[in-house]
Amino acid sequence: MVRSEGVCKSFGRLDVLKGIDLEVMPGEVMCVIGPSGSGKSTFLRCINHLEKINAGRLWVNGHLVGYRERGGKLHELRESEVAAQRRDIGMVFQRFNLFPHMTALENVMEAPVQVRRIPRAKAREAAVALLERVGLADKARSYPSQLSGGQQQRVAIARALAMEPALMLFDEPTSALDPELVGEVLEVMKQLAVDGMTMIVVTHEMGFAREVGDSLVFMDGGVVVEKGTPREVLANPQHRRTQDFLSKVL
């Protein structure tokens, strides 16, 4: 579903990603951990076309991200083609970014109606089902300001799912939540994983990584230091940098 080969990204003279090699298989849940500033968010943003990579190759769902390869040369995609590629990907951020003037239901319906041109009645039906799936059937008519952080984040997940993505990216989705609200969001994510969604999850929730993750990646300084099953990496980290990081967070 995702293949990253030697992906590099710099901002000016700051090299943030220094050759990321990773693969995510369909249905896999890959958790990513690492210190602040190690390039985790930047990597997700590259996958989701929010940043352009400077070197390497990145594929999502069989498509080269942002480019077409012809005769050994890369050609940039047109904006409409980029938009089509992005539709395969749902992203959930630390901050929920819901539209404040729309109800939960309207938030979930918005992209299917505006972007996919799905008739409102059909989009509404799908949105109701999605809100049910994240446990918020009774909050369809509530505005974001009337919802807790955990509820808002679950609406954000439903909204991302409304575009029927092949891949879901989560960037520290519970970091901004009060501790007692973390569990309900992780539970929704876990159910999504059980249902077979391919997911990349940047998180500090080691319990989630251990229980739900198929693989665990430790990033530091713009490189993948270590990758393995969560059990392997957490119980028996091979690299000094991973050991140091885990000793601080576990």
Q: Site residues for Mg ion, window 36-75 (CB under 5 A)?
A: 40-41
| 179 CB-contact burial (10 Å; exposed 0-12 / middle 13-18 / buried 19+) | exposed
- Rounded to the nearest whole angstrom, what is the least distance from the CB of residue 204 to ligand ADP in the complex? 11
Quick one: what does residue 151 bind among ligand ADP, Mg ion, none, with the CB cut-off 5 to 8 Å set by partner type?
A: none
**Coil, helix or strand at residue 49:** coil
The reply on whether position 151 binds Mg ion by CB under 5 A is: no
Q: How far is CA 198 from CA 146, 170, 177, in A?
A: 31, 11, 24
Q: Using the minimum distance from each CB to ligand ADP, give the nearer residue, 16 or 157.
A: 16
Q: Using the minimum distance from each CB to Mg ion, give the nearer residue, 35 or 183.
A: 35
Pairing relationship of beta strands 198-202 and 167-171 according to DSSP bridges: parallel
Q: Using the minimum distance from each CB to ligand ADP, give the nearer residue, 38 or 215.
A: 38
Could you give the string, one character per residue 21-60, with x where binding to ligand ADP holds by CB under 6 A and - elsewhere? -------------x-xxxxxxx------------------
Q: Using the minimum distance from each CB to ligand ADP, give the nearer residue, 16 or 127.
A: 16
E strand segments, 27-72: 29-33, 55-60, 63-64, 67-70
Q: Using the minimum distance from each CB to ligand ADP, give the nearer residue, 103 or 242.
A: 242
Pairing relationship of beta strands 55-60 and 63-64 according to DSSP bridges: antiparallel
- Rounded to the nearest whole angstrom, what is the least distance from the CB of residue 58 to ligand ADP in the complex? 15
By residue count, the chain amounts to: 250
State how far the Cα of 178 lies from the Cα of 184, in Å rounded to an integer: 11
The reply on whether position 241 binds ligand ADP by CB under 6 A is: no
- Residues at the contact surface with ligand ADP, assessed by CB under 6 A: 11, 14, 16, 34, 36-42
